[in-house]
Chain A
Amino acid sequence: MFKKFSPSTDISGQTPVKSSMQRAIRSSILSSWNIDAETLEAIWPKKESIIHVKCREHISIYTLHNEPLFFQHFDGPVYPTLRLLHKYPFILPHVGIDRGAIRFLLAGANMMCPGLTSKGGRLPPQDAALPAGTPVAIDAEGKEFAVGIGLTTIGTEEMKKINKDVAVESVTYVGDELWAVQKL
């Protein structure tokens, strides 16, 4: 999503967010992430306002004290930044790619089924299956911290069955242009 993204040319403006909109974002996070109100309060206290950083192609980044915390494409799911996910790894469900797939992800590629279904990959068991369109943390074989965040394009059970083509769309990853932006 952030390929070739450059803060100096791709940001059209920074505006405060209306309180009604802030409430909507807050409730969307509480309902779609695995997070309790207290932890969200620690990340983003109710009495503090986030700033909406408008970017090209309808990407919105939300910052608090200049630090990017969340982002969104059109009115799609609200994602945590990868740095926020590293601090609170439980907020998204996790899938895992095998070691061979890491360098492809880091080059901006979407993740194919085999990278997740192979021995080094990891998908949730059937009773915790994830549907298509779920934001997921992408772990990597042998690594402690998530390497990226993605969006499932098909359900995790389908990934196991079909085992080819794109399974997880790449959203952000370690070293991409969003990662490079630590302050906005």
Chain B
Amino acid sequence: MASTAPEDPSTSEKVATPPVEMFYCGVCTFPPEYCEFGTSFSKCKEWLHTERLDLFEKYYSDEALQAKLGTLSVEAQSKLEKDTAKKEAKAEAKADAARKKKMSSPVIIKRIERNKRKYVTSIRGLEAFDIDLKKASKFFATKFATGASVTKNAAGIDEIVVQGDVSQEVYDMIAEANEGGGEGGGGGKGGKKGLDVLKGVVVDNIEMVEEKKKKADAE
């Protein structure tokens, strides 16, 4: 960058060395030459082929593959390739299991009676759907003009607690935020009214629960 101070023309002006323009894999985030060590190698290759054919050829042409072997023996290389394939399959199975687990993960909206006609609403399980609990709690607080916070319950799990009985409204909002959208169902109109902070939840998994004040201390 040009300096503002007048420079003595006899001394050569020192300039910053420009940075190397880096290009990283859009699938695994590695420099593409390291994709082969990741857990999504075939997807990475496919991606690079469509994004940067020049780099694809640089890394995966026959000559490149030959040169890559370097000092590694052929046996070691084939072991590496087998390992990579195994890792990839494992990662996929894991991701699959995680997806299934996520899709069946429950969300519980509980109406809790605190005092006579005084309620709080707790919402549990949203984090499984990658909902930012702090943002969601702030969203509820604004929407209902009431207090809302993220607190750890007795089991040490974070849940959102909103003052007042807003369980039906919370359900409706989550439902509206996720209507028409299947799994990972694209952006679209989630932006309306800030509902996108609730996007991603499987609405069918929502359970409505009611916790009555114990009779014993109601007297």
Pair B76/A143 contact, Cβ less than 8 Å? no
Interface check A118, CB cutoff 8 A: yes
- Chain B, residues 30-41, CB within 8 Å of chain A (1/0): the string is 110110011000
Size bracket of the B interface? 20 to 34
Is A83 at the interface (CB under 8 A from chain B)? yes
CA distance A119 to B80 in the complex (A): 19
Whether the Cβ atoms of A38 and B70 lie closer than 8 Å is no
B interface, over-half SS: loop
A149-184 Cβ-contact flags toward B at 8 Å (1 or 0): 000000000000000000000000011000110000
Taking a contact as CB atoms under 8 Å apart, the answer to whether B33 and A145 are in contact is yes
Q: How far is the CB of A2 from chain B (nearest CB, A)?
A: 15
> A67 within 8 Å of B by Cβ?
no
Cβ-based interface call for B17 (8 A): yes
Is A147 engaged at the interface, CB distance under 8 Å to the other chain? yes
Residues of chain B within 8 A (CB-CB) of A88 are 17, 19-20
Q: Could you give 23 example pairs across A and B, Cβ below 8 Å?
A: A36-B16, A42-B19, A86-B20, A86-B22, A87-B20, A88-B20, A89-B20, A100-B72, A100-B76, A103-B37, A106-B34, A106-B37, A120-B70, A141-B70, A141-B71, A142-B67, A142-B70, A143-B34, A144-B31, A175-B29, A175-B34, A175-B37, A175-B38
Interface residues of B (CB under 8 A from A): 1, 14-17, 19-20, 22, 28-31, 33-34, 37-38, 67-72, 76, 80, 83
The 5 A-B pairs of least Cβ separation, nearest first, read A87-B19, A120-B71, A42-B16, A38-B16, A99-B72
> Can you name 4 extra interface pairs (CB under 8 A) apart from A102-B34, A143-B31, A180-B29?
A38-B15, A39-B16, A142-B70, A179-B29
Residues of A within 8 A of B (CB): 36-39, 41-42, 83, 86-90, 98-100, 102-103, 106, 118-120, 141-145, 147, 174-175, 179-180
